Amino acid sequence: MGHTKAGGLSAANMLPFGETAIMVEFGKGIDPVFHSRVKALSQYLDNHAFAGMVEYVAAFASVTVFYDPVSITGDMVIARLQAILAKLEHEETSEARVVEIPVCYGGEFGPDLDFVAQHNGLTTDEVVEIHTGGRYLVYMLGFAPGFPYLGGMSERIAAPRRQSPRPAIPAGTVGIAGMQTGMYPITTPGGWQLIGRTAVALFRPADNPPTLLKSGDIIRFKAITPEEYHTLKGADK
Task: Give the confidence band of 4 by pLDDT, cuts at 50, 70, 90.
Answer: very low
pLDDT at 3 over 50: no
pLDDT at 11 over 80: no
* HSE-up (13 A, CA, CB side) for residue 33: 9
Percent with pLDDT over 70 in the chain: 92
* HSE-up (13 A, CA, CB side) for residue 17: 17
> 47, exposed or middle or buried, with CB in 10 Å at 0-12, 13-18, 19+?
exposed
What does the pLDDT average to over 11-39?
A: 89
Backbone torsions φ then ψ of 28, nearest 5 degrees = -120, 140
Would you say the C-alpha torsion 224, 229, 235, 236 has a positive or negative sign? positive
> 205, exposed or middle or buried, with CB in 10 Å at 0-12, 13-18, 19+?
exposed
The answer to whether the CB of 161 falls within 8 A of the CB of 144 is no
Q: What is the pTM of this model?
A: 0.70
Q: Quick one: pLDDT at residue 1?
A: 41
Q: What would the DSSP string read from start to end of 19-39?
A: TSEEEEE--SSS-HHHHHHHH
Q: Quick one: pLDDT at residue 90?
A: 60
- Model pLDDT for residues 186-219, shown as the tens digit of each residue: 999 999 999 999 999 999 999 888 999 988 899 9
Q: Quick one: pLDDT at residue 25?
A: 94
As a whole number of angstroms, the distance between CA 176 and CA 193 comes to 5
Q: Quick one: pLDDT at residue 237?
A: 53
Q: Quick one: pLDDT at residue 144?
A: 84
Between 41 and 95, name the one with better pLDDT: 41
Task: Give the confidence band of 6 by pLDDT, cuts at 50, 70, 90.
Answer: very low
What does the pLDDT average to over 127-151?
A: 90
Return mean pLDDT, the chain.
90
Percent with pLDDT over 90 in the chain: 68
- Model pLDDT for residues 27-76, shown as the tens digit of each residue: 887 888 888 888 889 989 998 999 999 999 988 889 999 999 999 999 99
As a whole number of angstroms, the distance between CA 62 and CA 52 comes to 20
**β-strand pairing of 218-223 with 136-141:** antiparallel
pLDDT at 10 over 80: no
- Model pLDDT for residues 99-131, shown as the tens digit of each residue: 999 999 999 999 999 999 999 999 999 999 999
Q: Quick one: pLDDT at residue 149?
A: 86
